Amino acid sequence: MTVRVRFAPSPTGMFHVGGARSALQNWIYAKQQGGVFVLRIEDTDAARNKPEWTEGILSALDWIGISRGSYEGPYFQSANAGEHRAAAARLYDSGRAYYCDCTREDVQARTGSQYQGYDGYHRDRGLGPGPGHALRFRTPDEGTTVVVDLIRGEPTFENKLIEDFVIARGDGSPVFLLANVVDDMTMGITHVIRAEEHLPNTPKQQLLWEALGVKPPVWAHVPVVVNEKRQKLSKRRDKVALEAYRDEGYLAGAMRNYLMLLGWAPSGDREIVPWSVIEDEFRLDEVNLSSAFFDEKKLRAFNGEYIRALPVAEFIDACQPWLTGTGTIAPPPWQPEEFDADAFAAVAPLAQTRIAVLSEIVPNVDFLFLASPLIDEAAWTKTMKDGSAELLDDAVAAFEALESWDAESLKSTLEAVGAERGLKLGKTQAPVRVAVTGRTVGLPLFESLEVLGRERTLTRIRAARLRLV
C-alpha cells in the first residue's frame, strides 16, 4: 500500500505557522514511507475565500521547502461537490442518515437547555427531503468508537454521547465534516496527520468512513501550538502568519527547524540540526502529547544562528530584498542609485554577526547610502552633552591629519583625543557615532568610518558640531 497523506488548508487568510508545521510533518512522513504528499485547498467557504490566499499558500509552501511540482495537486474541494452530494444521498438511502427540520430553538425548547445536543427527535418520523430539511447522520445507539492514533494510542468515545450530527444543510449542501471525509476517500488518503484540535470530530468522521463502506485512515493528532500564556495561537491575538516572519527576514531553514521542534526533538542534546537529520530521525510515535509552545524569542535566536552560519556571499544575497525593496519587502530609505554594493560587501561580515533577522540589515547600514544620517533624536539627546562640541572639534582636527584612513588608525587617533580629556574610548566615540550614523548602536565604528570614507565622515561630524552651536 502506498502511503498517501494530505495537507488541506483553507484560503481564508495568511498562512498559519501551525499549518506550516502540519505540512512539514506530513511532507516528511510521506518521504520516509516512500509515499505521496497531496495538497488540497478546502475552498468551499465562498464568502471568505480569495484567489490571493490560495497563491499565498502555494508561495508559503515553496518558501519552507515544499515546492510546486513535488507534490500531488493542488486539488480544490469545490470541484468535488458532486461526490459530496452523492455520498450524502447514499447515506440517506441506506438508512444511515435522516432528514430533520428542527431549528436550534426547537431543540432548546425540548431539552430545556441551550447546552444540550440534538435529541434525535426526527430519527424515526420519516421526514423526507425538502427546503430547510437538514440531513443528520444516525449515530449508533450503543457501543464505542475507537480511534487508533499513532500518537495518542486508542482514544475511545461512547457512541451514545455523540449526537446525530448534521452532514448536509437545509439547502442540500454537505457540511465540511462530510466533505472532508469524501475528499480523503476520493484521493485515497491513508494517513491523516493533523492538530489535536480536530480529535473531537474524529469519531464522527470515522463513523462516516465506516458507513460509506471504506476503511478509515490511520490517524495521528499532533499537539496544538500555543502562545506563552498556553492559549491556542490565534490570528486575532498572536503573530501567526508565516508570511510575516518571511518578510521580517527569518530564514526558511531556521523556520523549518524550529517548527519541527514543536512537539518533537532530535536525538541527543541538540536543537539546531541539519534538515537531513530531521528528515531521517522524525518519528510520529515520538511526538509529545502536551501542547507545543511557540516561543518567538527562541525562534529569533535560532534565526540568528542560521544567519551567522551562512557563507558571507550567501548572506549578501539573502539581504538583497531588504536592500532593494523587492517583492513584498518595503523599500529601504535610500534611492537605488545611492546604494553601493562594494561598500555593503565590505561591512557585510560585520553586520552578519549582529543581526537576528534580515530586515535588521537596513538600520545597520543605512548611514552608508544616505546623503546624511537618519538621526535618532533620543540618541542625540542622550549623547550630545556638555563637552561634546569641543570633542567633535578635536576629532575633526585629528582625523584631518591622518595619513592613513583605516580602522586601526582611526581608533588609535580617537582614543588619543579622549585620553587628553580623561575619557575612555567608549565615552569618546559615542558622539562621533551619533554624528556619523545617527544612532548609539550599530556596526563597529572604526570599520564603518573606513568604509564611509574621509570626506563623508568629516562632513557629518562638522554638521553635528554646527547643530550644537
Is the pLDDT at 376 greater than 60? The verdict is yes
State the pLDDT at residue 88.
97
Q: Which one has a higher pLDDT value, 428 or 46?
A: 428
Split at pLDDT 50, 70, 90, the class of 34 is very high
Split at pLDDT 50, 70, 90, the class of 45 is confident
Is the pLDDT at 222 greater than 60? The verdict is yes
Pairing of strands 4-7, 36-41: parallel
**418 in Cβ contact with 445 (< 8 Å):** no
Give the cell for residue 4: 498517501
Read off the DSSP letter of residue 5. Answer: E
> 359-393 as b/e, with b when 16 or more CB fall inside 10 Å?
bbbbbbbbbbbeeebebbeebbeebbeeebbebbe
Mean pLDDT score of the chain, rounded to an integer? Answer: 94
Q: Which one has a higher pLDDT value, 446 or 43?
A: 446
Mean pLDDT for the stretch of residues 156-168 = 95
3-state secondary structure 128-151: CCCCCCEEEECCCCCCEEECCECC
C-beta atoms surrounding 113 within 10 Å: 9
Is the pLDDT at 40 greater than 80? The verdict is yes
Q: Which of 10, 17, 54, 6 is nearest to 232 (CA)?
A: 17
Is the pLDDT at 112 greater than 90? The verdict is no
Split at pLDDT 50, 70, 90, the class of 234 is confident
State the pLDDT at residue 221.
97
Most confident of 48-57, 110-119, 314-323: 314-323
Judging by beta carbons within 10 Å of its beta carbon (0-12, 13-18, 19+), is residue 186 exposed, middle or buried? middle
Measured CA distances, 115 to 97, 112, 159 (Å): 23, 9, 18
Catalytic (active-site) positions: 235
Mean pLDDT for the stretch of residues 339-353 = 97
Is the pLDDT at 304 greater than 70? The verdict is yes
Is the pLDDT at 253 greater than 70? The verdict is yes
Mean pLDDT for the stretch of residues 350-378 = 97
Split at pLDDT 50, 70, 90, the class of 114 is low
257-274, pLDDT tens digit by residue?
999 999 999 998 899 999
Judging by beta carbons within 10 Å of its beta carbon (0-12, 13-18, 19+), is residue 404 exposed, middle or buried? exposed
Pure H helices in 283-371: 296-309, 312-324, 341-352, 361-369
Split at pLDDT 50, 70, 90, the class of 50 is confident
Of the listed ranges 36-50, 53-67, 129-143, 170-184, the one predicted with least confidence: 36-50
State the pLDDT at residue 326.
87
Measured CA distances, 380 to 242, 367, 374, 384 (Å): 36, 15, 11, 6
Structural domains of the chain sorted by starting position, each given as residue range(s) with its CATH number in brackets: 4-75+177-223 (3.40.50.620), 84-168 (3.90.800.10), 372-467 (1.10.10.350)
Is the pLDDT at 115 greater than 60? The verdict is no
State the pLDDT at residue 113.
63
Q: Which of 4, 42, 418 is nearest to 218 (CA)?
A: 4
Q: Which of 228, 165, 215, 176 is nearest to 198 (CA)?
A: 176
Split at pLDDT 50, 70, 90, the class of 103 is confident
Q: Which of 438, 345, 333, 343 is nearest to 384 (CA)?
A: 438
Is the pLDDT at 437 greater than 80? The verdict is yes
**16 in Cβ contact with 241 (< 8 Å):** yes
Read off the DSSP letter of residue 41. Answer: E
